Amino acid sequence: MFARQAFAYLELAARTASRSSDRLTRFAQYLADRDRRYFTELPSDVPIPRSSEFRLPSLPSVRPERQLLAALFDISRHGLAHIYQQTPVDLIDEKQWMTTFTGAGPGLLMRDAGSAQRRSQHLSFRVGPVEGRVYLVVCPDVLLADLHWAARLAPIFSQYLAPDYLARPRRRSKKSEPRIPAQRSPYAFSSAELVQTLADHGHQRLPWPETTA
């Protein structure tokens, strides 16, 4: 649960910061100040979100597709969001790589998550003695504390900056992009058809609550 919250926060912060190149750059810089290992250069490219949707924080010295944070997001975020489980990935030597998360423990307070003691295992790794699988250890409390610290200093969450809200069909992120025709929506029915279908199948229609001045 804590890991899922941390990666959800990363996506929200990245989507919001992507509205401003300056904020996204500062977000990455402050995150690197906390722990530069988030941007370790990997041996080859890994999947990243489409730039038309949002960008993850990255340092200019390394291509975004080769930074560790991109792999962490790809391996962890999607599986946690859908089935509460991180996604192992196959490597070219037929071994696997995946993240593993630490959990809650007695006496561990969120206010101490950024301490050196709590950071001792964060972003360390283990190799399975039998199958050779590589496990990257992520401490969700440390990750969330780092993200919150960097987002606050950037600053990302302000009254002047908001993420592009999700919708189906996908809305244009830029005015220059062509408008998506309504008939391409995966929900190919009208609101009247929806209301009639619900009513026909026993769904009770409630009155709209009255508002008071």
- What is the structure's pLDDT at 182? 46
Alpha-carbon separation of residue 210 from 18, 41, 195 (angstroms): 39, 57, 21
CA 172/CA 177 separation, integer angstroms: 6
**Higher model confidence: residue 209 or residue 153?**
153
Cis peptide before 155 (omega within 30 of 0): yes
Question: Which of 32-46, 85-99, 197-211 has the least mean pLDDT?
Answer: 197-211
Does 36 score more than 70 pLDDT? yes
Long-range CB pairs of 87-93 (<8 Å, 24+ gap) are 88/133, 91/134
pTM: 0.74
- What is the structure's pLDDT at 183? 44
| Mean pLDDT confidence for 91-115 | 74
Does 66 score more than 50 pLDDT? yes
pLDDT above 90 covers a percentage of the chain that reads 25
**Domain coordinates of the chain in residue numbers?**
2-153
- Name the helix (H) or strand (E) containing 24: helix 21-34
**Contacts of residue 47, Cβ cutoff 8 Å, sequence gap at least 6:** 65, 70, 74
Q: How confident is the model at residue 60 (pLDDT cuts 50, 70, 90)?
A: very high
- What is the structure's pLDDT at 102? 79
Q: How confident is the model at residue 133 (pLDDT cuts 50, 70, 90)?
A: confident
